[in-house]
Amino acid sequence: MSDVAPETPTEAGNAKPYSVSELAFALKRTLEDAYGFVRLRGEISKVTHHANGHVYLTLKDERAAIDGVVWKGQVRGLGIRPEQGLEVIVTGKITSYPAGSRYQIIIETMEAAGVGALLAQLERLKARLSAEGLFAPERKKPLPAMPRVVGVITSPTGAVIRDILHRIRDRWPCHVIVWPVVVQGDQAATQVAAAIRGFEALAPGGAIPRPDVLIVARGGGSVEDLWAFNDEALARTVAACAIPLISAVGHETDTTLIDFVSDRRAPTPTAAAEIATPVLAELKAAVSDLGARMHRCGGRAVEDRRGRVQAAGRALTRVEDMVELAAQRFNIVSGRLAAGLARNAAVHERDLVRVSARFSPQLLQRPQAVQRQRLDGVAARLQPGVSRGLERASERLAALSKLYTAVDPDRPLQRGFARVQRADGSLVVAGASLAPGETVSIKFGDNITRDAVIDGAAAETLPPKSARPRPKAGPPAQGDLF
């Protein structure tokens, strides 16, 4: 119900005046309450894609027009791209723009009004992409002759995937990776594009092998059913795909936008499997045929070379003729060889007899006698010096022996002394250095060692000299060898 009540003529003089803003916003609330949800059909004109993401447009028919706006958050959810001349059906709410005193529709959803409008939009998009060069034959990549891995993007349910797998298994058994997607509806284009980018992101030699060729497949359907494959973003993703891609959407008479940007179009999904893979049996037959041809060609080449060699050999001298002359010369020379050797041996024998007559034992005995006389003279001169050297060495050896005997640490033990050593092998030279309870070893003159434990406390001081007992008279004390 409107917030502005009509005034009667009698109350006009006493009516409270409204401000422009009050009236404008009251009308805005009235429109929104009365037309909070409307479904409107019309032709788009004056489309403006604002930099902030909003889309402003005008919907019109043959007699009227209404402004519309699509907020940024709703643009991505639209089923189609707003373009001038496109007939659409939109839903939204009617509101007013107070600053301009005009009403407008806030569009929430948009769909094409008919097949004719969809095809018109598709033709404009095709013309734009063709102008950008996405349909050019020179940019299409060649398909691999013998793929190791085939990637298939299609619905995991239905006959399409079964036909493709069955055809590949019969023709060229290889690794097939299926990326499941929906192939109809608003999410189809987004999922197919994501699958293509996912296959591209696989690293060669990784845990999941990177496909050598991709197949985008779907069964037949109406224009609306196949409309997801006319999406511009999907077409650009297919065009930018680094992996060769085969489009197999619909039947032979169906055509979608990705058929023009893909590297190869197949009329049916089964035909796509045939295009992507060779026939293994045909390749084996071709290899066998090539092998047989190679053997035949090799045999003909050998026979040709043999014939040429034989023809060239007829112009050469026979081997027997060439050997006979050399054999004759050999026989003549070998017949004279024995007599020549005998004469040579006789000549050397005469020379040996002539030379040996001059040899006698005196020739060797005279140099030996001379050398013996020289050695006798040298020995006679060296004998006194050697004798004196031996005498001096003997004297030094005797002196060292006496010194060793004097400094022998075991010699005093033979006279009743004993040697005391600690457990670590060090020699004890003072009794005060021993601690009570310390273990020592005592070695005697008979070369026997006994262990002992120190008992009692060490004397801190010696008694006065006057208190010391006087030693008894006896034989003189023995001197210290050390």
**Rounded Cα–Cα distance for residues 111 and 117 (Å):** 10
Sign of CA pseudo-dihedral 204, 205, 210, 211: positive
pLDDT at 371: 87
Each domain of the chain, given as residue ranges in start order, spans 20-113, 132-282
In tens, the pLDDT along 256-312 reads 999 999 999 999 999 999 999 999 999 999 999 999 999 999 999 999 999 998 888
**Rounded Cα–Cα distance for residues 15 and 7 (Å):** 7
Question: Nearest 5°: CA angle at 294, between 288 and 296?
Answer: 105
Q: Which own/partner pairs from 73-78 qualify as long-range (CB within 8 Å, at least 24 positions apart)?
A: 74/107, 74/108, 77/109, 78/109, 78/110
Which amino acid would we find at residue 259?
A: D
What CATH class is the domain 132-282? alpha beta
In tens, the pLDDT along 443-456 reads 887 878 888 888 86
pLDDT at 469: 52
Q: Is 474 helix (H, G, I), strand (E, B) or coil?
A: coil
**Rounded Cα–Cα distance for residues 175 and 152 (Å):** 11
DSSP strand pairing (264-265 vs 213-218): unpaired
How many angstroms separate the first and last alpha carbons of the chain? 138
Domain 20-113 has CATH 3.10.20.340: no
- Beta-bridge mates of residue 110: 90
Rama region for 412: left / alpha / beta (φ>0; ψ in -120 to 50; rest)? alpha
Reported as half-sphere exposure (CB side, CA atoms, 13 A), residue 237 has a value of: 21
**Which structure tokens are listed for 330?**
């050999």
pLDDT at 457: 52
Sign of CA pseudo-dihedral 108, 113, 118, 124: negative
- Beta-bridge mates of residue 56: 48, 69
Tokens 């004998």 sit on residue:
383
Collect all residues with Cβ–Cβ distance below 8 Å to 1 and sequence separation of at least 6: 30, 33
Closest CA to 250 of 275, 274, 230, 276: 230
CB 398 within 8 A of CB 414: no
CB 80 within 8 A of CB 111: yes
**Rounded Cα–Cα distance for residues 150 and 168 (Å):** 9
**Which structure tokens are listed for 452?**
């002992």
How far, in Å, are 4, 179, 181, 480 from residue 157 at the CA level?
61, 12, 10, 117
Helices then strands (H, E): number in the chain? 11, 13
**Rounded Cα–Cα distance for residues 97 and 56 (Å):** 13
DSSP state of 107: E
Closest CA to 200 of 245, 165, 161: 245
**Which structure tokens are listed for 240?**
């930018």
User: How many Cβ atoms from other residues are within 10 Å of residue 165's Cβ?
Assistant: 15
**Which structure tokens are listed for 181?**
């997607």
**Which structure tokens are listed for 282?**
């045909």
**Which structure tokens are listed for 438?**
């310390």
Q: List alpha helices for 44-150, DSSP H.
A: 72-75, 115-131
pLDDT at 85: 78
- Burial category of 42 from C-beta neighbours within 10 Å (exposed 0-12, middle 13-18, buried 19 and up): buried
Closest CA to 200 of 184, 211, 188, 187: 211
The edge-to-edge listing of strands for the beta sheet with 149-154 is 175-180, 149-154, 213-218, 245-249, 264-265
- Beta-bridge mates of residue 177: 151
pLDDT < 70 stretches in the chain: 1-14, 115-118, 456-482
CB 107 within 8 A of CB 56: no
CB 276 within 8 A of CB 256: no
Rama region for 456: left / alpha / beta (φ>0; ψ in -120 to 50; rest)? left
**Rounded Cα–Cα distance for residues 340 and 346 (Å):** 10
